[in-house]
Every structure is written in structure tokens, then in C-alpha cells.
Amino acid sequence: MRISGTSDSLIENAHRLLALAEREGAEEAEVFGICGRSADVDLRRDSVELVSESFHCGLGLRAVLKGAVGFSSTSDMKLLESVAASAVKTARARGSDEEWRSLPLPEKITRPEGIFDRRLARIGPEECLDLAQGLLQGCTQVSGAKPVSGGVACMCGTEFVVNSRGIELQETSTLMHSSLDAIAKGSDVATGSEFQNSRSLQQDLSDVGRAAAEMALASLGGAKAESGTFDVLLRPLAFAELMEYTLLPSLSAESIQKGRSALKGRIGERIASDGFKILDDGLLSGGMDSSSFDGEGVPSRRTALIEDGVLVGFLYDSYTAGKAGLSSTGNAVRSGYSEAPRVGIRNLMVSSPESHDLLAETKGFLVSGLIGAHTANSISGDFSVEARNAFCVVPGEEPKPLRSLMLAGNIFELLKDVVVGTDVRAVGAILTPTVRMKMKAVGS
């Protein structure tokens, strides 16, 4: 599917909206637009519940007046005058902001590789349905497990940013997501899940369905876990979930400036184990959030956050960078055209020069996912969560399933002794291997 004609029309309306905002009194203005299409298949047990194709198109306007920013959005191009008036009116109501510097100026951009697949751009609901059947087939090939729910989504869209300071950028990309939840029954009942995200077309999804079924089967017959302090292996999904609600908020310049980060004033300090490294790369080839520019039109780049265990930087958008007297790191992100930009990660990468085969050398627990990570304290880093698909592991032996396991700790304390594995996987915009941490555990 090509949407260039539609996106060209939307860009024309974006320039019109800029002019309307300035006519209303805006000193600066910016329009972010999205035009795209998605083909989706939803699965319920072993049947197709819904097949759909949807189109979305819209504009979001930021109008700046005396440093105050007003925002409004629409998917109806007949309402541009109302959108402009609303954004400027909102800016006036907020009052001036002396810490605002300006919208960004045009800069040279670099196009990332691997974010557009022509085959995926052309895919329709019928082809998407065939892919979903592969999920079901993979699951049913595993005796003793059945599919519960899942689906496939294939998307292609164009995003663009234009502003009153001369930025005019546009980029088209593709994305494919598939997932399946499975259930297995024995003396008890257990579930398992698996997913896959890709910027290119993945024609065989049977491995995804098979992995979900195998996880459900492996989790049957769970025993009671011991309580105490143990080495815990967090698989990529589990560690990504934990980081999202503990560490990552503290790496945002917005959190630093609002006094909501435990890392404020700690640049240059060792906060993690030797060799531990985190960087954010908006230009990563095939990355889930890679693009040539961020949500404000600032060129994407690579930003080091933790190097050899030492805190070396934070993530900035234009506003937080202006307050700090720095340049944006290209980390303004948006959930869509109907939301203003905020500071966020692009492709966050966890690594270490000394990675380990953790499963072969660890006695303790192995955790595939977490329940309740969102309840963590994003300022202190304290958390208490329930492990999902947890196992007891001993070197040289098969992992044994556990019935129930609670984990607790503080992310900033645990990072001091974190050990990094080799099995790097993309979980949304976070790329991480399994890691080992010493945690408090409570079994039941």
C-alpha cells in the first residue's frame, strides 16, 4: 500500500494549519501528522474472531505564545480553523513560560535502514489471515496445549513534522506484530505466551504459536518456591517490564528537572556493575522506534546513558534541553497525532562486553515475565511484583516450574551487581538479554 497521495494532501493541510495558527496570534507553531493503514486479525481460541482493515489520518498542532504551549488535534480537515483557535486559546490560558526556548531549527538528518518493507506495505487482510493461521498451527502442533487468544497486525504509515522555523520532514515505515496466548491442563492449569515484532514481513509465525504452547506445558505442575534471597534470572521480557517502571523514568530529563529521579546530580557516578551499558539509538537498523527524526523533527541519534556502569547522560527533548542549556538528544516521542510530544526512549539497548551463559551457571530462579511492574515506585526504584512463568534452575538440570513467586527489591541497588546474558531480544523499543540479579523472593 502506498499512501503518498494522501500524505501529500495532509501536508498541504498542515501548512494551512500553521498559517491559521499564526493568524490567531501564535509566535511559533508546529504540526505533526500521521497517515496510515493497518490490517488486523484477532484470534479467539482456535478461531478467527475479527478481520479488519483500518485507515487513520490526522494532525496535531502545538501553538506557542510567550513560551506557553497550547495543543489541539483533529482527523477532520474541515475543522482546521477551530483547531488553530483552540491551540492558541489554550496557550494564552496557560500564561507565559520563561523557560521555553524555541521550536527546533532544521538540521541534517540520517535515514535509518530496515524500517520499511515494500511487501509488508502491500499486505491486505487476506494475507494477514494466512499469517494468523500459522500462529494457530504452531500452537496445535504441541500436544496438550490450546490457543486462547492472539492476533496479527500489519501496519504501514507516514509521519511528518512541519514547523514555522523551517522544518519539513516526512518518513514512511512499516511494522508487524504477532502474539499468542496458550493454555495447558494437567493436574493444574498453566498459561504461556509469545510475541514477535518486526519492521519487515515475517511469513511463518508457527514458531510464535509453538513457543507459547511449550511455555504453557513447561509451567504445569508447579512446586512451591523457597523464600529468601536468591539469584534471579530475568528473561528479556521480564527485565524490560521492570526497567520500564523503575529505571527508565529516572533517565528522563523531565524527571530530573521535576525532582522525580533518584539519579539527579549523579552524572559521573558508578550506578551499575562493571561493563554494564545502556544506550539509546534512534537510528538502529530495523529498530522498533527508529526513524530519521523524533516527534519534533530533531535528527535521531545515539545517546549513551550508562557506560561501564557509570551514569553519563539523560534523555532530552527540545524543552528540557533548553532548560538545561543543552541540545535535544532526539528523544521527543508521541503516541499519535492527538498527543503532544514527551521525553521517551527510542531503541534502548542493554549490553556488556562480558556476557554470560546465565542458565548454565546459575542456581536460583528463572522468570519469564512479571505481573504488577506498573506498581513500582518510579522515583525510589522500589518494586514488589509477581513472577509469571517462573522456574527453579540448577546448572545441568532441567528447569522446574514454580507455582507462585513474589519478587522484591530496589532497581538501583540491584544494578550494582547485575550480570548480563547473551540472548538479546527486542521487547518493543527495549533490546536486552536475560540478566541476573540477587533479589528477595517469597514462594507460596
Q: Indicate the domain borders of the chain.
A: 4-216, 222-444
Residue 177, C-beta contacts closer than 8 angstroms, at least 6 positions apart: 152, 153, 155, 195, 196, 197
Q: DSSP labels for 331-364?
A: -EE-SSTTS--EE--SSEEEE-SS---HHHH--E
Handedness of CA 7, 13, 19, 21 (dihedral sign): negative
Torsion of CA 281, 202, 32, 52, to 10 degrees: -150
Q: 4-216, what's its fold?
A: PmbA/TldD fold (3.30.2290)
Per-residue pLDDT of the chain (444 residues; tens, 9 = 90+): 334 445 678 999 999 999 999 999 999 999 999 999 999 999 999 999 999 999 999 999 999 999 999 999 999 999 999 999 999 999 999 989 999 999 999 999 999 999 999 999 999 999 999 999 999 999 999 999 999 999 999 999 999 999 999 999 999 999 999 999 999 998 899 999 999 999 999 999 999 999 999 999 999 999 999 999 999 999 999 999 999 999 999 999 999 999 999 999 999 999 999 999 999 999 999 999 999 999 999 999 999 999 999 999 999 999 999 999 999 999 999 999 999 999 999 999 999 998 889 999 999 999 999 999 999 999 999 999 999 999 999 999 999 999 999 999 999 999 999 999 999 999 999 999 999 999 999 987
Cβ atoms of 43 and 136 closer than 8 Å: yes
Helices 125-140 & 206-218 angle (0-180, nearest 10) = 30
Supply 376's cell numbers.
Answer: 513500582
| 342-365 per-residue burial string, b: 16 or more CB within 10 A, e: under 16 | bbbbbbbbbebeebbebbeebebb
Supply 110's cell numbers.
Answer: 540520517
Torsion of CA 57, 62, 63, 65, to 10 degrees: 170
